[in-house]
Amino acid sequence: MRAGEKNILIVIGALVIVMMGYRAMHMTADEPDPGIPFYTTATAEMKREAEIVYKDNDCSNCHALWMVRNMLESVPAPPLDGIGSLRDEQWFYSYFSAENPQAILPTRLKEEYRMPSFAHLSERDRRLLAAYMSSLKVESWYLDEVKRTEYEKLTGKKYQSESHEAGIQN
């Protein structure tokens, strides 16, 4: 074998080893990427219309949605991503229509940080918001995380998941 051929073989050999190493690394580290767990079942039109009402009423001053919120505000309100997997449309409608939302969902916050009443909004806007909120779903593998965040925001206490509690009993 000539020196030139030998060098080519060495280079090819090295490449193969590098590629195998790269693949092996990715096969272990790369559990299939689960991606973003949040999605909506709303039509594009409903989403657009509801987000206008959402914006007009400054909901993002206190809440995160699509993982976006007003960074200048620090109200510890529950994020709304995935909230439609925890409650249904009728609940949201009653909540937005309540003169005193805290009678439905108790608060731990000072007056100015609490969920305001949106009873003054038109019937159409409250229905639209309720329908949109109930369309905000989370994939089941992330549901417990949404429950945990909501519970901790609402109560300020640590959340013990059902599976965690079951684990302690065993």
Query: Which positions lie near ligand HEC, rule CB under 6 A?
Result: 54, 57-59, 61-63, 75, 77-78, 80, 83, 87, 92, 101-102, 105, 107, 109, 113-116, 118, 129, 133, 150, 154
d(CA 107, CA 99) in angstroms, rounded, equals 15
Shortest Å distance, C-beta 167 to ligand HEC:
25
State which residue, 28 or 74, has the beta carbon closest to ligand HEC: 74
State which residue, 39 or 118, has the beta carbon closest to ligand HEC: 118
Shortest Å distance, C-beta 85 to ligand HEC:
11
Which residues on adjacent β-strands are paired with residue 68? 65
Residues with Cβ within 8 Å of 66's Cβ and at least 6 positions away in sequence, in order, are 38, 81
CA angle 110, 79, 160 (to 5 degrees): 85
State which residue, 7 or 94, has the beta carbon closest to ligand HEC: 94
Q: Contact, 108 vs 64, CB < 8 A? A: no
Shortest Å distance, C-beta 160 to ligand HEC:
18
Shortest Å distance, C-beta 29 to ligand HEC:
35
Shortest Å distance, C-beta 56 to ligand HEC:
8
Residues with Cβ within 8 Å of 67's Cβ and at least 6 positions away in sequence, in order, are 38, 79, 81
State which residue, 133 or 138, has the beta carbon closest to ligand HEC: 133
Placement of tokens 């206190």 in the chain? 62
d(CA 132, CA 84) in angstroms, rounded, equals 8
Q: Contact, 119 vs 99, CB < 8 A? A: yes
State which residue, 143 or 154, has the beta carbon closest to ligand HEC: 154
